[in-house]
């Protein structure tokens, strides 16, 4: 199970409330066992949804392993950006009631190479930080694990040269940091792609050039203090596809997990995920009422 141990009682509250509502929740710590159960047509037909009991990385793991099954979240991870996007409660009993209500939102997914992601992917500075943090981690990762990699990457940074190409760019764009967003959330609520829409069939891309340690700090402070990040060194656009290349391999991360290196192509998968959300965020509703299954790592 990912996320703080202090949140684990919420998983118990979730399953208890679901049982009170007449459901038969199944909790998995082993994804292979979960996959075996979902191979059975009768079991899958009775599955109302999957619950990612963790953070954004848990969400991405499930949407890659089990595409096409409705999903919701019990936020227990480091950032929980997707849960915050739709104001999904952190209380297990309330998540159970939300599942029973069955309000859903059909959202796009990003595709980085062959890996699906729900929130955002990036290449350059923050992907390098993520890679270093994961290489040094022991056990569950927390925000504290990122402090040293951030400082190391800022002050001992090698120059990165990326080239972005897309049908929606008039010509190849040279940059040092690229952020590809499916929704408007970003780590620490920084407004990197604040106009990203989750179901418009497009990815929102933010390209940074001429990056220095001072500019990174300035952009972050600007975002925190003013709610926007603007600069002549930033270019934003929307597209169904963007490709990033470089003269040497540069790390790429998706939703807080290192996934690949350049070169890599990013595409959008329109309305590929049916997400169970609070009523105020919904645009649809589940018809079938069956049992729930849970993934916990």
User: Dihedral sign, CA of 172, 245, 128, 79?
Assistant: positive
The whole-number pLDDT of residue 3 equals 36
282 and 252 assigned to the same domain: no
Residues 127 and 248 placed together within one structural domain of the fold: yes
8 A C-beta contact, residue 286 and residue 21: no
Whether 250 contacts 212, CB under 8 Å: no
**DSSP states of 22-65:** T---EEES-HHHHHHHHTSHHHHHTEEEEEEEE-HHHHHHHHHH
Statement to judge: residues 164 and 280 lie in one domain? no
At 293, the pLDDT band (50, 70, 90 cuts) reads low
Share above pLDDT 90 across residues of the chain, in percent, rounded to a whole number? 68
Is 233 in the same domain as 281? no
Angle between helices 8-20 and 92-101 (to 10 degrees): 40
Residues 130 and 59 in one domain: no
CATH number of the domain enclosing 134: 2.60.200.40
Q: How many CB atoms lie within 10 A of CB 26?
A: 16
> Average pLDDT of 215-225?
85
Instruction: Tell me the average pLDDT of the chain.
Output: 88
Compute the distance between CA of residue 202 and CA of residue 110 in angstroms, rounded to an integer.
Answer: 9
Give percent above pLDDT 70 in the chain. Answer: 88
pTM: 0.88
> Do both 121 and 252 map to the same domain?
yes
d(CA 232, CA 6): 44
Whether residue 119 sits in one domain with residue 97: no
What's the whole-number mean pLDDT along residues 152-176?
A: 89
pLDDT of residue 219: 87
Range of the domain at 41: 5-109+272-296
pLDDT at 163 over 70: yes
The more confidently predicted of residues 188 and 191 is 191
Q: Both 161 and 260 in a single domain?
A: yes
CATH of the domain at 284: 3.40.50.10330
207 and 139 housed in the same domain = yes
- Which pLDDT tens digit goes with each residue over 272-291? 999 999 999 998 776 554 44
pLDDT tops 60 at residue 222: yes
How many domains are there within the chain? 2
Assign 142 a pLDDT band (cuts: 50, 70, 90): low
Written in H, E and C, the secondary structure of 240-288 is CEEEEEECCCCEEEECCEEEEECCEEEEEEEEEEEEECCHHHCCEECCC
User: What does the alpha-carbon distance between residue 152 and residue 129 come to, in Å, rounded to a whole number?
Assistant: 8
The span from the CA of 246 to the CA of 212, in Å, is 18
Please tell me whether residues 187 and 218 are part of one structural domain: yes
What is the longest distance spanned by two Cα atoms in the chain?
58
User: Strand pairing partners for 149?
Assistant: none
Joined together, the tokens standing for residue 154 give 């800022």
Q: Are residues 141 and 160 in the same domain?
A: yes
Alpha-carbon dihedral angle through residues 42, 48, 52, 56, given to the nearest 10 degrees: 110
Higher pLDDT, 283 or 263: 263
135 and 225 in a single domain? The answer is yes
| pLDDT reported for residue 289 | 45
């Amino acid at each position: 199970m990912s996320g703080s141990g202090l949140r684990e009682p919420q998983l118990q509250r979730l399953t208890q409330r679901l049982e009170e509502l007449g459901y038969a929740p199944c909790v998995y710590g082993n994804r292979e066992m979960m996959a075996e159960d979902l191979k059975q047509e009768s079991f899958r037909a009775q599955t109302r949804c999957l619950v990612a009991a963790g953070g954004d990385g848990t969400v991405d793991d499930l949407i890659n392993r089990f595409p096409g099954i409705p999903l919701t979240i019990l936020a227990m991870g480091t950032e929980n950006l997707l849960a915050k996007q739709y104001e999904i409660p952190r209380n297990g009993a309330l998540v159970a009631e939300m599942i029973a209500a069955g309000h859903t939102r059909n959202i796009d997914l990003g595709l980085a190479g062959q890996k699906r992601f729900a929130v955002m992917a990036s290449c350059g500075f923050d992907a390098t930080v993520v890679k270093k943090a994961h290489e040094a981690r022991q056990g569950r990762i927390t925000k504290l694990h990122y402090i040293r990699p951030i400082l190391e990457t800022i002050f001992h940074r090698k120059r990165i040269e990326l080239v972005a190409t897309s049908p929606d760019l008039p010509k190849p764009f040279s940059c040092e940091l690229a952020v590809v967003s499916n929704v408007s959330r970003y780590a620490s609520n920084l407004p990197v792609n604040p106009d990203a829409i989750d179901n418009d069939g497009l990815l929102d891309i933010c390209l940074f050039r001429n990056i220095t340690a001072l500019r990174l700090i300035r952009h972050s402070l600007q975002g925190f203090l003013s709610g926007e990040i603007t600069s002549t060194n930033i270019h934003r656009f929307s597209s169904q596809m963007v490709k990033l290349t470089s003269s040497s391999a540069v790390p790429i991360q998706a939703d807080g997990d290192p996934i690949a290196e350049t070169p890599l192509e990013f595409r959008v998968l329109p309305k590929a995920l049916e997400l169970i959300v609070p009523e105020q965020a919904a645009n649809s509703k589940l018809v079938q009422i069956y049992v729930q299954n849970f993934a916990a790592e």
